[in-house]
Structures are given as C-alpha cells and as structure tokens.
Amino acid sequence: MEETFDVIVIGGGVIGCAAAYFLSANTSFNGSVLVVEPDPAHTHASSTLSASSLRTQFSNSLNIQISQYGYDFISHFHDLMSVNGDRPFLKFHEGGYLFLAKSDLQVEIMRQNNSVQLANNADVVLWSTSELANAFPHLNSTDIKLASYGKSGEGWFDNVGFLNGFKRKAQDLGAKFLKDEVVGFNKNKKVLESINLKSGKKICSGHFVNATGARAAEIAGYAGIDVPVAPRKRTVFVFDCANSPQGSASVNNGALPLMVDNSGVYCRPEGSFFISGCVPKNDVDVDYNDFTPNYCEFDDIIWPALANRSKYFEAIKVKNYWAGHYAYNIFDQNMILGCHPEVKNFYFANGFSGHGLQQAPATGRALSELIIHGAFRSLDLSPFCFDRILEKKPFLEKAIV
C-alpha cells in the first residue's frame, strides 16, 4: 500500500520546520505531517548560512508586523520549543539595526519608511548627523545626512538552534521527517495527488507545501507552475578588528549594532569578531549548486566602505567566509505565500529574499491556518498571495539588505 499523509512539506529548512510545528501544535488539526528533506544536515540551506538577524525596519507594514511577531516568538522560543524539559536558548542579542543615508533619495526613502514603522509601533528613531556622531563617535558621520536606529525589537540570534528547535518540537508533536528528494508530482486534473521521490517511493497527500528555499522554481516546475524565485549568491565574511569600535555607553551599551552603510555594506559584531557582507555589483541568478564565495567582494567593496566609515576598520583581517543563497523573488522581493489559484492544494512559501529566517514563525503559523481553516486568522497575509504574480501587481519591499 502507498503511504499517505494529510500534509507533505517539501523542504526541511526553517520554513518547512516551522510549518510542521504549527500544524502539529494546532489543536484543530488531527492529521499527519511529513517533511521531506534531501540534506538533513542543511549543508547549503539558506537557514544555516544566513546572517540570522531580525529587524522591524522595513518599508512594508506587513513585513514590520511579521517581524514583531517573530520577535515575540523568539523571545519565548525556549519555552515554546521545550521537549522533556530541554529548553533551547537562541542567545538573542538585541543589538538593533543602524541604517545610514547619504544621498537625498536615501534620506527621502528613510523618512518614508520611518513613517510606516512608527505607524506600526516599531521602536525606531531617526538621527541627525550630530545625533549619530554623539551615539557612535567612532563613525565617520560627516557625509551622512540621516540615520535610522532600532532601539528595541531587533537583533541577531542562533540560526542553527532556531531551525533545530522547530524540527525537534515538531517531531515531538508527531511530525515525521524523511531524508529523500522530490523529483515529481502525480496530478489528477488540477489537483496534486502524490509526490515521486528519488528513492523510487510514491507518497500521497491532500496538501503539499513548497518550502524549498532557493530551489522553489525547480519544485514548482514539476507541477507545471512558474514561480519567479531564483538563487542569488551572498558571501559572508568573518573578520577580526585590532581595536573594536564602540558607541556611547548610553546607546546599545556601547556596542556597535548591525550597521547598514549607505553603500549597502552591512557589518555586525559576532562574539569577539565581526561579520559583514554586501550586495554583489553584478547581482544575478546563480546555479543551485554554486556556493563558491566571491572572495574579491571583501577587498573591492566591503573593506573600502568600512574603512571609510570608521578608522577602527582600517586594519582588519578576514578569519572565515562562506556563501549562501537568497531565495530571491525577482518580481517584488517579498514572499509568495498560499495556494496557486489553479492548483488549490499546492501551497507556496517562497521568495523571502533574505528574510526567511525572521519571517518563519509568522509564515509557519499562516500556512497552518490556510491548511486547517482555509483562510488567514492571526494576521491577514493575503497581499503576499500567488495571484499578484499572475496579475503582475507587485507588493514591493524597498528595504532589502
């Protein structure tokens, strides 16, 4: 007899594990959940290779609200994910984001974003040049016209612990995990009936979730669906700094926050080191298996920008580096969430464009609501639905890092 599950989640990264957890934890759901993942070690998963940060400084109200829920969820993660008294701690560091604006256009966008953030009760302030210099005197602020700083509700955390916490709790609640690879679907008219696996197995279900990150288009293609999500490479560098830059004692306890320079280069503390990255000058789609770091980005883009921003960054040394993929939504850089309008039992949770980790709690909850109740209940995320892609009506997010 063929195996059957009520829900099959394709992809065992943080989005897939969050979906499995929220389904299994919902008392209105008595069904079975299977998560299919070809690489349980998550060697190349966006979840484990990300800079693992959370912010409310977005231009889009829903993204702000999603992050606010994510912050609340992460704050209680150790209790929510407790298994037999074992409580995972994510070591959340509430360090805030610091965005810097140099051009008039950057200033205008920052002010527009801030008005949206304040309307959604985000704890974000705008600083003039002198206020920025007072808060972080080690920074060269002479060319900065405006800065935006998250006073609370932002920071960074243990991404591997986040993923594993979801997975372990979902398993404890009854979700099953299978090491295998989906290579096709079996379809009856406009309904998916089963998946074909690389091992030769066929497993049936009534609901299928595409949570495959940067490989979303490949999986969607098996069902004859085009989705505008592609892998975009992001190289992360770990570097040491001989003299660590510090802010004033009254701001962030004197520590540097996650700074996003006007050049697009970001930098944040990581223990006694720093991590940094940038948007490549030639930001194009890459092969699914291309994880070769772009080594030249550090010397060509990152170091010059950081050295210009602080004298403390003039003498730094790279200690480590790796490359991961953004599951980049080419259409509008926002997630695609929910059913395809023509394949009613195929749910998408793709195209997070670098925000998947922080948006996993809200996404997992939303998927569980769609599958169980047929509608969003906690937070209306319908603007992220697949229809906007087909109707060519982008739901834009301006604040992409």
Give the pLDDT score at 1: 59
- 98-153+233-325, CATH topology level: D-Amino Acid Oxidase; Chain A, domain 2 (3.30.9)
Give the pLDDT score at 255: 87
pLDDT tens digits for range 113-131: 999 999 999 999 999 999 9
pLDDT tens digits for range 27-67: 999 999 999 999 999 999 999 999 999 999 999 999 999 99
The average pLDDT across 178-192 equals 96
The CATH code for residues 3-85+158-230+331-391 is 3.50.50.60
* 3-class secondary structure per residue, the chain: CCEEEEEEEECCCHHHHHHHHHHHHCCCCCCCEEEECCCCCCCCCHHHHCCCEECCCCCCHHHHHHHHHHHHHHHCHHHHCCECCECCCCCCECCCEEEEECCHHHHHHHHHHHHHHHHCCCCEEEECHHHHHHHCCCECCCCCCEEEEECCCCEECCHHHHHHHHHHHHHHCCCEEECCCEEEEEEECCEEEEEEECCCCEEEEEEEEECCHHHHHHHHHHCCCCCCEEEEEEEEEEEEECCCCECCCCCHHHECCEEECCCCCEEEEECCEEEEECCCCCCCECCCCCCCCCCHHHHHHHHHHHHHHEHHHCCEEEEEEEEEEEEEECCCCCCEEEEECCEEEEEEEECCCCCHHHHHHHHHHHHHHHHHHCCCCCCCCHHHCCHHHHHCCCCCCCCCC
Give the pLDDT score at 29: 96
Q: Is the pLDDT of residue 171 over 90?
A: yes
pLDDT tens digits for range 326-336: 999 999 999 99
Q: Is the pLDDT of residue 343 over 90?
A: yes
If you average pLDDT over every residue of the chain, what do you get? 96
Give the pLDDT score at 96: 95
Q: Where in the chain is the domain with CATH 3.50.50.60?
A: 3-85+158-230+331-391
Q: Where in the chain is the domain with CATH 3.30.9.10?
A: 98-153+233-325
Give the pLDDT score at 245: 87
Give the pLDDT score at 249: 81
Give the pLDDT score at 10: 98
Q: Is the pLDDT of residue 317 over 80?
A: yes
The average pLDDT across 266-281 equals 95
